[in-house]
Amino acid sequence: MTTRWMVGAVLAAGLALGACADSGSTPPNGSGGSPVTASPSPDPASSSLSGPSGPGPTSPGGPSADPTAPTRPPSGGAAPSGTTTLRGTVQAGVEPNCLLLDGYLLVGGPRDVLAAGARVTVVGEVRPDLMTTCQQGTPFQVQSATRG
């Protein structure tokens, strides 16, 4: 009885392995070439895919409808270009060493002047293309900063 069982197991294994062997037939795609596994993904910049569903991040200014939007948009609407002057009170961000002023993330500048709670005047340039780890605010490259 054990011999019959062993022979049956060997035959079943042989059939299974034989089914996986290349029989010289055309590939499943019928073209005679290598099968295509996937097409290239579209360029994410040109894609109109929406972000993840669910509630967006919350900011000191309240919930944001667009998770990619700055924490709080500048009071003038669109982000200014070129050299810009900002005045106000610096706020601490949610990440360590991240400072915000009027919805902008302050990048660079003198840290003895730029501290949470300080009233400052900052001159610099809006840099929406700049990557940061702070996860909030539109990056603002600080050129100079004074208290007051």
Per-residue pLDDT reduced to its tens digit, 51-84: 444 444 444 444 443 333 344 444 444 455 689 9
For 124, what's the count of Cα atoms within 13 Å in the CB-facing half-sphere? Answer: 26
pLDDT at 2 (0 to 100)? 74
pLDDT at 3 (0 to 100)? 76
- Choose between 23 and 4: higher pLDDT: 4
User: What's the chain's average pLDDT?
Assistant: 72
Per-residue pLDDT reduced to its tens digit, 94-114: 999 999 999 999 999 999 999
* Whether residue 123 has pLDDT greater than 70: yes
Can you tell me the distance from the alpha carbon of 114 to that of 120, in angstroms, rounded to the nearest whole number?
A: 7
pLDDT at 72 (0 to 100)? 44
Q: What pTM, to 2 d.p., does this model score?
A: 0.48
Alpha helices for the chain (secondary structure H): 2-20
Can you tell me the distance from the alpha carbon of 27 to that of 136, in angstroms, rounded to the nearest whole number?
A: 51
